[in-house]
Amino acid sequence: MVKVYTAFTKEIDSAEDAVNEILGYAAPIVALTANAITGSDKMFMDRLAKPESNPRPLEIFGEKSPRLRHSLKKTGEFMRHYFVINPKSFVKLEDLKHFLLSVENCFSVGNRAEYKIYISRYPRDAVAAVHRYAASVRDCETVRIYAVGGDGVLFDCLNGMAEFENAELASIPYGNANDFINALGAENFDAFRDIKRLSEAPSVPVDLIRCGSRFALINCSIGAESRAVMNMNGIMKAMNKGKNTRRFIPAIYKIGAITGIINGSILPKRYIVEIDGADKSGEYMNMNIANTAFNGGGNIPNPYAVPDDGELDVVFLNRLSRFRTISIMPGYTRGQFEKYPQIFTHLRFREMSCRCETPMSVIMDGELFMTSEITFKVLPGAVKIAVPEGLGFVDATAGAGRKKKEARHESQR
């Protein structure tokens, strides 16, 4: 039995019918990628104009029989599965339909577990939904949150569930940028798209970055990289190719940075910085605070960052001329900052505070925020991530694909 929640509840026996229901809701959101904004708005307003519709988020439940649910709770083996989907990560509705059917087929065989699907409508939409659902789960149960899309929806899911000890996070990479999965090997995308394998995977304790009142899993940046991301997003919107831009992301990222350097929007600032009690204030073009080595869709600016070592890595870019900044960029994005010891400074830390007289643009896992003061603090092993057996974080200093070590699963700690 599948329940679909929009303005009202429907009980639908057929998985095909349930998928068609959710596609009808998601179509206007997917159209933001494939069509003009005006066309998408018209589709959405036409749907809301129907008597049985309203702007409420769409949710799908796959439910177990009460007797089996009670039995699993008593034995402590019960796990809930909560899928948060960014529909714009799927260029074609047919691709989204295939994914939804794969979820239903995974959990319907043998009545394996309860699951729920939430369609995210815009950035930060899923934060409250994930928090609300995680809070409803009993302490004796486990909830696994699946972020379906890219790093943006992963950021939302993380910030919705980070405070719950019985919550686990899983990433299913379909977005333009999937840098956390890159840290586990770009060749392993299919393993994380295998719903059955991921739902049965053990969890790995991973460090978090506490960024003021928010959490980040991948990295944060202040200065040039934040402007590069802003320019990159503008270029991608102009290209209007959705998922097809994925393989161009690293190149578009570099173009965004060069554009900012040339037009003067990327300029050095004086920052008041304190790292583990030591004063590191100065004029910097950029600060990259990393929990993992990858960002910008596959660039490796901070190759020594490993997300399970209890520390964060920061790379400072000192004040440079425009020409010199552009000339060292290829080496920097390939993790070769050590070739320029007078230009870059690399430090490891547990807590770092930063403030500036003018507002700072701060990128957290690819999401932009503005502030004049912020503190970054590592939270060792604060979140559990689902990682299929046999996979581990790659050694970015030796090149992508070479395994640094197998991920330490909870049973091994």
Is the pLDDT score of 208 beyond 70? yes
Residues 230 and 322 in one domain: yes
Considering the domain architecture, whether residues 254 and 145 belong to the same structural domain is answered as no
The per-residue pLDDT for 59 is: 54
**Model pLDDT, residue 16:** 61
H helices of 293-403, where?
A: 322-333
Distance from C-alpha of 385 to C-alpha of 404, rounded to nearest angstrom? 18
What pLDDT, in 10s, does the model give residues 6-30? Answer: 433 444 445 566 566 666 666 555 4
Q: Is residue 11 in some structural domain?
A: yes
Query: Mean pLDDT throughout 185-213?
Result: 94
pTM of the model: 0.79
Is it the case that residue 184 has pLDDT exceeding 80? yes
Confidence of residue 201 (pLDDT cuts 50, 70, 90): very high
| Residue 396: pLDDT over 90 | no
Confidence of residue 365 (pLDDT cuts 50, 70, 90): very high
Predicted pLDDT at 291: 97
User: In this structure, is residue 204 part of a structural domain?
Assistant: no
User: What is the percentage of the chain residues whose pLDDT exceeds 70?
Assistant: 67
Do the domain assignments include residue 401?
Answer: no
Least confident piece of the model among 74-78, 116-120, 226-230: 74-78
Q: Which of 153, 175, 197 is the last residue of a domain?
A: 175
Q: Please, what's the b/e burial string for 316-347 (b: 16 or more CB within 10 A of its CB; e: otherwise)?
A: bbeebeeeebeebbeebbbbebeebeebbbee
Average pLDDT score over the chain? 78
CATH number at residue 112: 3.40.50
Does residue 139 sit in the same domain as residue 220?
no
Q: Does the residue 409 lie in any domain? A: no
Question: Region 113-121: what's the mean pLDDT?
Answer: 86
* Residue 257 shares a structural domain with residue 124: no
Check which CATH number belongs to the domain holding 364 and give it.
Answer: 2.60.200.40
Q: Do 72 and 168 belong together in one domain?
A: yes
Q: How far apart are CA 10 and CA 234, in angstroms?
A: 40
Q: How far apart (Å, rounded) are the C-alpha atoms in residues 331 and 318?
A: 15
Overall average pLDDT of the 152-179 stretch: 94
What confidence tens digit (pLDDT) does each residue in 384-395 have? 999 999 999 988
pLDDT on residue 355 = 95
* pLDDT value at residue 72: 41
Which distant-in-sequence residues (6+ apart) come within 8 Å of 299 by Cβ?
Answer: 250, 253, 254, 333, 334
The residue segments making up the domain with residue 150 are 2-175
pLDDT score of 275 more than 50: yes
- Are 161 and 13 part of one and the same domain? yes
Same domain, yes or no: 28 and 102: yes
Spatial neighbors of 110 by CB under 8 A, at least 6 apart, are none
Do residues 17 and 152 both lie within one domain?
yes
Percent of the chain predicted with pLDDT > 90? 44
Question: What domain count does the chain have?
Answer: 2
Instruction: Note the pLDDT of residue 276.
Output: 97
